Amino acid sequence: MIASVFFNSWIGAFLMAIASARLFMVYKDRFTLRWMVFFLVLSVILGFAINTLGFIGLIPIVAVAQITICNYAYKNIRWIKLSLIVNEAFYIFYFYLVFDLVSTVVQVITVAVRCVSYVRLVKSSNSDMEGA
């Protein structure tokens, strides 16, 4: 969020603040359908209202909408991990376009680690099924 402020990306800073509140609700296991709709509508409407980056500013809006829906819909760890990888791919593209190269590199590393973790999870799940 701080990096987005530094790069004058108010849309990114705003949506990351909303995402923090949403993640707190998920963590406290209080993220109901009603809260999902609230955060989704808030993110999209206010995201469009403060978007100063044109097309580039739409990327965080799509990313926040995607992860908001996934936070509510997915309870299976495989789908959760996959949704995080997809979400971070949006942010890699976004950070690159706003010239936040440090965040781009950090997100690339994070996606690589998540991909390895995802592959291990899938292999582990498949080997558990073969032994059953």
Q: Which residue has the tokens 């530094």?
A: 6
Does residue 77 have a pLDDT over 80?
yes
What does the alpha-carbon distance between residue 86 and residue 71 come to, in Å, rounded to a whole number?
A: 13
Residue 128: per-residue pLDDT: 67
Round to the nearest angstrom and report the end-to-end CA distance of the chain: 46
pLDDT at 131: 55
Give the pLDDT confidence of 31-75 residue by residue, as tens digits: 999 999 999 999 899 888 888 888 998 998 899 899 999 999 998
pLDDT for the residue numbered 33: 95
Q: What is the pLDDT of residue 67?
A: 93
Across 101-119, average pLDDT: 95
Averaged over 105-124, what is the pLDDT?
95
Show me where the domains of the chain are located: 2-131
- At residue 113, the pLDDT reads 97
How do residues 11-24 score in pLDDT, each as one tens digit?
767 877 888 899 89
Q: Please, what's the b/e burial string for 71-81 (b: 16 or more CB within 10 A of its CB; e: otherwise)? A: bbeeeeeeeeb
